[in-house]
Chains A and B, each alone.
Chain A
Amino acid sequence: MESRRTQAQQVLRTFLERTDRDAAFEDATPLQGEGLALDSLETAELSALLEDELGTDPFTEGLLPVTVGELLDFYDESASVGS
């Protein structure tokens, strides 16, 4: 079975394709600004999508990940808490 981190990566990729963005990213890529350039509503949309697909998301848990890596790290941690 895929790890939750991999699943979150796929959700992010789907979301970027849907919003006509280059789906290539690295852990160090910032979510906003020069990186993926998500605005606040797009970030809100990503938060809802992650919650739908994975049951939880870092924003709803009160975290504010800045990079893709920080976002994905949340799922490493949530997996270890949940397992």
Chain B
Amino acid sequence: MIELLEGAAAEHPDKVAVVSPFGAPSYAELLDRARAAGAELRARGIARFGILEHDPAVVLALLAGSALAGAEACVYPLAASDEVNTETFVRFEEDLLVTSRTDLDVKSAAPTELFGSTAPELPPAVEPRPLMVMTTGTSGFPRGVRHTWERVLRTTSRIKPAPDQRWLLAYGLNQFGGLQILIHVLAARAQLVAGKSFQPRDALAAMRQHGVTHASGTPTFWRFLLAEMRSDGGPTPALTQVTLGGEAVPGALLERLHEAFPGAKISQIYGATEFGQNITVRDRLPGLPIGLLQSGGDVEFKVVDGELWVRSKASMLGYYGEESVDAESWRPTGDLVEVVGERVEFRGRKTDVINVGGVKVHPLPVEDRASRVPGVQLVRAFGRPNPLAGSIVAVEAVLEPDADADEVGRAIREACADLPPAARPRSIRFVETLSTTGNKVNRGVNR
């Protein structure tokens, strides 16, 4: 990571590396901060530390500094409560939390303390240099996924320089998706653009203001962004690349994005924190090409009992506090799939399966059909507890401004009429908005 930053700073010292409401530092400035932070971390004997900071440039410099010092950094989610952050600090046995905040009951230091260090400069730490990435914790307390920079960065040599690209940051840097954008920007010597928050409305404003050319977000992020664009009627950002990942990508969304950004290439990435790198699919069809199931390559896939399994050369070393996993072994992804013709189609997360009277139902085919209904802006399908069937398939939808709820409800039912009876939505409700975590729709059971 420090070498990536050094490379970018050597080639483009004065180029603005990151633009955000917090400032616009150059590559050379970030390298100075990273070197000072690395030296200070080593001088203080810090082996493991957390980062809780809004400014993405600060996070970038601290991550590069961590690699220099060989200290294990872990970026905390900005949206987490103080209690969760404090508990994370204790659970992960961290030596220090680097944050501008002074009100947390943990041992902390401000980023400026590290960046202003007068400790002597260091040679880079010996490999392997550790890194920890938190899971989103949708099913319990977040776990720390142990990686090394060497494994996470192993494919960056394939990234071609593209200093004219301006990449939107639409993920938190605590998320693997956010970290990958950061790495890509550094490797391409490009520019990272961040809005006031990761919310689609702020992201749209940042895209327009800073001429973003490349944007990567979850399908949920893109759905909300399209809805924002329609409702505010402002100019369409001049994107040349639209990338989706982090959730299954329905075909209807790919079509809508192509209509909204006709000049942009549209790619899907499939990856997970645990397997350390992404597969990119560029043909604008949902799912993965079946060719990926063949062996060979950096990432290999197979289907076991309807679930996608993966083996990755960049896979994690294990979860913090648990036994190391065999990094070369096959692991289940939790994604349920079905091979249809030449495609591996996603059916939903294993944890999202709805048990309707003993029949296992996947929410995604319902969402895909409902999202194509005119008048539907956003939609989610989930299991609603029911005394007669255990659960029924429920749909919550946000309507377009002029849409008629009765008509849209009828059309959603018709659109789902080809599904087996247990998979058809039995409860359709219209809501003002949908709840999300990390720009992913919450599909958890609720009433």
Q: Which A residues lie at the B interface, using CB under 8 A? A: 18, 39-41, 43-45, 47-49, 51-52, 59-60, 62
Contact = CB atoms under 8 A, between A and B. Distances in A.
A41 B426 contact: yes
A5 B315 CA distance: 60
Contact of B388 (A47, A49, A52): A47
Contact of A40 (B384, B388, B424, B447): B388
B427 A41 contact: no
Nearest to B389: A44
B429 A52 contact: yes
Contacts of A48: 384, 386, 392, 394, 426-427
A60 B427 CA distance: 15
Interface of B: 356-357, 384, 386-389, 392, 394, 410, 413, 421-422, 424, 426-427, 429, 447
A41 B357 contact: yes
A41 B356 contact: yes
A43 B388 contact: yes
A73 to B, nearest CB: 18
Contacts of B357: 40-41, 44
Contacts of A52: 427, 429
Nearest to B421: A41
Contacts of B427: 45, 48-49, 52
18 contacts: A18-B413, A40-B357, A40-B389, A41-B392, A41-B422, A43-B388, A44-B387, A44-B426, A45-B392, A47-B387, A47-B388, A48-B392, A48-B394, A48-B427, A52-B427, A52-B429, A59-B387, A62-B387
A81 to B, nearest CB: 19
Contacts of A40: 357, 388-389
A76 to B, nearest CB: 20
B87 to A, nearest CB: 36
A45 B421 CA distance: 12
A69 B427 CA distance: 24
B346 to A, nearest CB: 25
Most buried by A among B386, B387, B413, B429: B387
Lowest 7 A-B CB distances belong to which pairs?
A: A45-B426, A44-B388, A44-B389, A48-B427, A59-B387, A44-B386, A44-B392
Contacts of B429: 52
Contacts of B384: 48
Contact of A60 (B387, B389, B424): B387
A49 B422 CA distance: 17
A13 B356 CA distance: 25
A14 to B, nearest CB: 10
Contacts of A51: 447
A41 B387 contact: no
A80 B384 CA distance: 28
Most buried by A among B356, B386, B422: B386
A18 B417 CA distance: 13
A47 B384 CA distance: 12
A51 B422 CA distance: 20
Given A45-B427, A59-B387, A60-B387, 13 more contacts: A18-B410, A39-B421, A40-B388, A40-B389, A41-B392, A41-B426, A45-B426, A47-B386, A47-B388, A48-B384, A48-B386, A48-B426, A62-B387
Most buried by B among A41, A49, A62: A41
A59 B384 CA distance: 14
Contacts of A18: 410, 413
Most buried by B among A40, A44, A45: A44
Contacts of A62: 387
A79 to B, nearest CB: 21
Contacts of A44: 357, 386-389, 392, 426
A49 B384 CA distance: 12
A18 B356 CA distance: 21
B172 to A, nearest CB: 35
Contacts of A41: 356-357, 389, 392, 421-422, 424, 426
